[in-house]
Amino acid sequence: MQKIFFETIRKMIIAKTLSEFEAAYRSLPRKSDIGFVPTMGALHQGHISLVKKSVSESSHTIVSIFVNPTQFNNRQDLENYPRHPEQDCVLLKETGVDIVFIPRTEDIYPEEDNRIFDLGGLDRYGEGPRRPGHFNGVAQVVTRLFDIVKPARAYFGEKDFQQVAIISYFVKNLNYPVRIVPCPIVREEDGLAKSSRNTLLTSRQREAAPHIYKTLCLAAEWMKESTPQQVAEKVKTEIDKNPLLETEYVEIVNAETLQPVSGWDEARHIRLWCAVYARPVRLIDNIQLK
Ligand code: AMP
């Protein structure tokens, strides 16, 4: 008896089209307080930490798995992006998720999405100039998913620090009744930020990659005697000492405006963020300095 009850409350519906999702959604109690975790799949414990937080705070949790083409500015990157939804569902089954939504591209974009979003200039640095159109694509998919899922809260990782800030901005600007919940970065034991892209690293690159976070931690020391610009330079030089790594950028920004700072007293909170190639894989990471 107890076993049947247990299985009933843990039932997880997998919806592979919009109409399957809508049917599953209708089966939820009317006044559900929905927590939502949008992902691109190839799930790891970073994603699962968001899911667990949602499950602990919400009456029902919905996870989406959708590799959003409009946020990729590099076709090869889109094609190489790891995909294994069956494995993802096995992982999610243990977490208490109610619906896994794995839409087709035509469910999310029944027609071409030409919307251009106001991102408040938060895309001026960091990933913005290096991945033109990326954050607008993120805004397209996130607003579309919010319209479908209608969550009370949505959970995003600080691994993509700029993304959470930009989503918080346009959600507020567009009056979406969704609370954006930032969640801390989950790392491997050796410090490497967990990422779906880590599976694309060769074993030698994987061995080299923790050097990124180790260097970010050194920056917290260097800031005592150097300017932000000097620290950014030192971080770049140190990471690039490893022949398998090549920094694309290292920036130190005001954590609220996301504009570079030239002095440590210029902002209440300061973040160092970087993108590093272990070619052809591109890794990003960040750390709070203040
Ligand atoms: P993605 O599947 O890469 O689009 O990521 C889906 C969500 O998981 C985003 O909000 C990411 O920021 C978050 N995420 C990815 N990796 C991590 C991590 N290592 N720690 C915390 N959150 C993460």
* Per-residue model confidence as pLDDT tens digits over 256-273: 999 999 999 999 999 999
In short, whether 72's Cβ falls inside 6 Å of ligand 1 is no
Round the average pLDDT of the chain to a whole number and report it: 95
Q: What is the mean pLDDT of residues 221-226?
A: 96
**pLDDT tens sequence across 164-205:** 999 999 999 999 999 999 999 999 999 999 999 999 999 999
- Return phi, psi of residue 33, to 5°: -105, 95
Contact 144, 111 (CB under 8 A): no
**In terms of Cα–Cα distance, which of 151, 149, 146, 143 is closest to 170?**
143
Cβ-in-10-Å burial (0-12, 13-18, 19+) of 106 comes to exposed
Residue with the smallest CA separation from ligand 1 atom 17 is 46
Q: How far is the CA of 284 from the centre of ligand 1 (A)?
A: 11
Q: How far is the CA of 279 from the centre of ligand 1 (A)?
A: 21
Looking at residue 6, what is its pLDDT? 47
**pLDDT tens sequence across 9-62:** 458 999 999 999 999 999 999 888 999 999 999 999 999 999 999 999 999 999
Contact 46, 164 (CB under 8 A): no
User: CA neighbours within 13 Å on the CB side: how many for 141?
Assistant: 23
Is 47 one of the catalytic residues? yes
In short, whether 126's Cβ falls inside 6 Å of ligand 1 is no
Contacts of 169 (CB under 8 A, 6+ apart): 119, 120, 122
**pLDDT tens sequence across 230-256:** 999 999 999 999 999 999 999 999 999
**pLDDT tens sequence across 102-155:** 999 999 999 999 999 999 999 999 999 999 999 999 999 999 999 999 999 999
Ligand 1 atom closest to the CA of 44, numbered from 1? 16
The domains of the chain, with CATH numbers, are 2-183 (3.40.50.620), 196-288 (3.30.1300.10)
Contact 152, 178 (CB under 8 A): yes
pLDDT above 90 (res 3): no
The rounded distance, in Å, linking the Cα atoms of 172 and 169 is 5
Contact 46, 88 (CB under 8 A): no
Q: How far is the CA of 161 from the centre of ligand 1 (A)?
A: 10
Ligand 1 atom closest to the CA of 43, numbered from 1? 2
Looking at residue 45, what is its pLDDT? 98
In short, whether 156's Cβ falls inside 6 Å of ligand 1 is yes
In short, whether 60's Cβ falls inside 6 Å of ligand 1 is no
pLDDT above 60 (res 74): yes
In short, whether 195's Cβ falls inside 6 Å of ligand 1 is yes
In short, whether 39's Cβ falls inside 6 Å of ligand 1 is yes
In short, whether 53's Cβ falls inside 6 Å of ligand 1 is no
Ligand 1 atom closest to the CA of 196, numbered from 1? 3
Residue with the smallest CA separation from ligand 1 atom 13 is 157
pLDDT above 60 (res 8): no
Ligand 1 atom closest to the CA of 155, numbered from 1? 10
Q: How far is the CA of 1 from the centre of ligand 1 (A)?
A: 38
Q: How distant is the alpha carbon of residue 25 from its chain centre?
A: 24
In short, whether 165's Cβ falls inside 6 Å of ligand 1 is no
Q: How far is the CA of 135 from the centre of ligand 1 (A)?
A: 15
Looking at residue 30, what is its pLDDT? 87
Looking at residue 87, what is its pLDDT? 97
**pLDDT tens sequence across 224-237:** 999 999 999 999 99
